[in-house]
Structure 1
Amino acid sequence: MTLQIGFLIFPRFQLIDLAGPFDLFAQVPDCRLHLIWKDLEPLRATAGCDLRPTVTLGACPALDLICIPGGTGVNALMQDAEILDFVRTQAASARFVTSVCTGALVLGAAGLLRGKRATTHWASHHLLKELGAIPVEERIVTDDKLITGGGATAGIDFALAAIAQLVGREAAEVAQLELEYAPAPPFDAGSPRTAPLAVVERVRADSAATVADRARIIAELHAAA
């Protein structure tokens, strides 16, 4: 039976959060991929390129796996009742409910992280607790049918783990080899635990306003509950 895999995309989504997992799932036989949004007009990613959705919220089939990527546009999604209702509805019947990077905050705003172990991008990791999650500092965190990936490139690792659960380890390894995923970065700056302090401080400063806005949104969600 064809697997239905859906990625929610939105204005200012993070391209790498989507592209890595999408390419890996595309290697899986009998797997149909959907790019989901409210309409079919092109959406601009944070990197500046445009991507056209393939299906609207209303026309989207029941998904075996739903994935929410991250990006600065997550802040708007956390306050979008139509999107949150769609995510809850799909999550109720999906085999796996997943996110990459700050997409986890959308799952949290939809009430899907309460009492669940989860991760997200390190700069927003502290917000998980405010959304009822049990924060875990790992690259991939699985809790029953919930799978969350850490920041950006962790989406590749997340997708491999999800493919293994959906169709078996060998299929995941085939996809990994097809894309020659054998990371060997030239610098050890991919985590705040290993990056130079000046680099960490610069990234924190760059994201401070966005993270503060997320904290405000979460406080408003609590006030409205």
Structure 2
Amino acid sequence: MSKLTIVIALYPGVTHLDFTGPHQVLVRAPGAEVIAASVGGADIEAEGLIFTGLADLARIPSCHVLLVPGGFGATEAMLDEGFMREIRRLGAGAAYVTSVCTGSLILAAAGFLAGKRAACHWAWRDQLKPFGALVSEARVERDGNIITGGGVTAGLDFAFTLLAELAGEDYAQAVQLGLEYAPAPPFDSGRPELARPEVLARVKAIMAQAMESRAAAAAQAAASGASLSMARP
């Protein structure tokens, strides 16, 4: 069986569960090589954890699956031309271009989501609109070869959806059983429409601290992407 190369593109300020959850699932795909990579192979700090021994994105010639996780660092990442250059290059040749959480903003900034349905963390999904993406409220959304997951824990649902695509539903179900993925959350507050109003207000207040800067970055990245498109022959 030929090797299935799955590249997870990391950047400073990534949310670690956005990629460690899917990694735990996808590393079990038959014949898979799951590569966590960063610009220059630099160590990545993610909310107090340091990820080291990473591959250099620029040295990976191609991949079957490109996965971009989210995180508060996505704002800076989508304005980092060195990082975005590798996202565009690897994504252009990938059979599947995928993301979790605000990783879809990075895919949008790279030009992959124009006219495509895409999911994102609920607090940030409207920022997909400047890139011409069609906002989906789904936990996992698929549009052609683009598969995107919602916020953080949706990365597990995304990963099993992708694994079923790569190895079949029976295989994905077997991995789900092996990992005992049978979510039963202690609180029914994991979506804005389910949370109590005071809980939702509290989270929105926290998110608001980063909303203005991220919206500005999205607008800047969208304008930059439009300029790139006009410059192409």
Query: After the TM superposition, which residues 108-147 of structure 1 pair with which residues of structure 2 at under 5 Å, given as runs?
Result: 108-147=108-147
Indicate the residue corresponding to 1:167 in structure 2: 167
Indicate the residue corresponding to 1:14 in structure 2: 15
Indicate the residue corresponding to 1:93 in structure 2: 93
Instruction: Specify the SS of the correspondent of 2:41.
Output: coil
Counting matched residue pairs gives 224
CA distances 1:135-192 after superposition (whole Å, capped 9, x unpaired): 0110000000000000000000001011111111112112111110000111100000
How far does residue 39 in structure 1 lie from its aligned partner after superposition? Answer: 2.4
Q: Give structure 2 stretches of 5+ with no counterpart.
A: 228-233
* Residues 139 and 150 in structure 1, CA contact (< 8 A), matched pair in contact too: yes
TM-score (norm 1): 0.96
TM-score (norm 2): 0.93
Kindly tell me: are residues 82 and 191 of structure 1, through their superposed partners in 2, closer, same or farther at Cα, counting changes over 3 Å?
same
Query: After the TM superposition, which residues 1-225 of structure 1 pair with which residues of structure 2 at under 5 Å, given as runs?
Result: 1-46=2-47, 48-224=48-224, 225=227
How far does residue 12 in structure 1 lie from its aligned partner after superposition? Answer: 1.1
Q: State the AA in 1 paired with 2:70.
A: G
| Distance (Å, rounded) in 2 between the aligned partners of 1:26 and 1:59 | 21
How far does residue 90 in structure 1 lie from its aligned partner after superposition? Answer: 1.0
Between stretches 122-131 and 150-159, larger displacement belongs to 122-131
Q: State the AA in 2 paired with 1:113.
A: L
Q: Give structure 1 stretches of 5+ with no counterpart.
A: none
Instruction: Specify the SS of the correspondent of 2:59.
Output: coil
Q: State the AA in 1 paired with 2:124.
A: S
Instruction: Let me know the Cα RMSD of the aligned residues.
Output: 1.2
Instruction: Specify the SS of the correspondent of 1:185.
Output: coil
How far does residue 43 in structure 1 lie from its aligned partner after superposition? Answer: 1.2
How far does residue 53 in structure 1 lie from its aligned partner after superposition? Answer: 4.5
CA distances 1:70-107 after superposition (whole Å, capped 9, x unpaired): 11110111101111111111111111000000000000
How far does residue 10 in structure 1 lie from its aligned partner after superposition? Answer: 1.2
How far does residue 214 in structure 1 lie from its aligned partner after superposition? Answer: 1.4
Kindly tell me: are residues 68 and 223 of structure 1, through their superposed partners in 2, closer, same or farther at Cα, counting changes over 3 Å?
closer
Instruction: Specify the SS of the correspondent of 2:124.
Output: helix
* Residues 119 and 149 in structure 2, CA contact (< 8 A), matched pair in contact too: yes
Q: State the AA in 2 paired with 1:45.
A: A
Kindly tell me: are residues 164 and 210 of structure 1, through their superposed partners in 2, closer, same or farther at Cα, counting changes over 3 Å?
same
| Distance (Å, rounded) in 2 between the aligned partners of 1:178 and 1:26 | 13
| Distance (Å, rounded) in 2 between the aligned partners of 1:29 and 1:73 | 32
Kindly tell me: are residues 223 and 128 of structure 1, through their superposed partners in 2, closer, same or farther at Cα, counting changes over 3 Å?
closer
Q: State the AA in 2 paired with 1:40.
A: G
| Distance (Å, rounded) in 2 between the aligned partners of 1:83 and 1:42 | 14
* Aligned residues with identical type, % of pairs: 38
Q: State the AA in 2 paired with 1:132.
A: G
* Residues 9 and 53 in structure 1, CA contact (< 8 A), matched pair in contact too: no
| Distance (Å, rounded) in 2 between the aligned partners of 1:73 and 1:128 | 16
Between stretches 51-60 and 171-180, larger displacement belongs to 51-60
Indicate the residue corresponding to 2:230 in structure 1: none
